[in-house]
Amino acid sequence: MFRTRLAIAAAIACFATVAGAQDVTWSKDVGPIVAAKCGACHGANAPEFNDWMALGDEKRGKVGPRMDTYPHFMSYVVWPATGAMMRRLDDGKASGGKPGNMYAFLGGNDEERAKNLATIKAWLGEGAWNTNRWKARKEVPGVTKEQLEKIKAKY
């Protein structure tokens, strides 16, 4: 009887862990990472995308665009800056070995960066991580409908 109860409890705990891992949300998981690791440069006081684009290259290098809310963040995932988030946060695996210029800010050490990146990738959805742009530019191809359909980010 005890073994049966123990087996049932273990099965429930295992299911809860798996289900919990699949329930990554912006509000609970990704938003807090963005606030803690990106908020100083990309918070509520940062310029909106169009205002940021109008700054020019030199000024844009000193200030980041706003991305502290779900809609702001997603504009760098799907449109208008398709794939920018993935290109910037990539650990080098999707971009051919060189980490994105914002990867270092995902954590204070390799373990924290890897954990935070894994959380963001899980939130976007299986196979949704790609560095493509809306339209092809230089060596970066345009995003496909199939790639966009893989994005399953939950609020």
Cα-based distances in Å from 118 to 2, 36, 71:
37, 16, 21
- Interval 41-94: pLDDT, tens: 999 999 999 999 999 888 888 889 999 999 999 999 999 999 999 999 999 987
Tell me which amino acid residue 15 is.
Answer: F
Question: What are the residue ranges spanned by the domains of the chain?
Answer: 24-149
Work out whether the CA dihedral 26, 19, 122, 124 comes out positive or negative. negative
φ, ψ for residue 137, nearest 5 deg = -150, 125
pTM here?
0.80
Most confident region among 47-61, 81-95, 104-118, 128-142 by mean pLDDT: 104-118
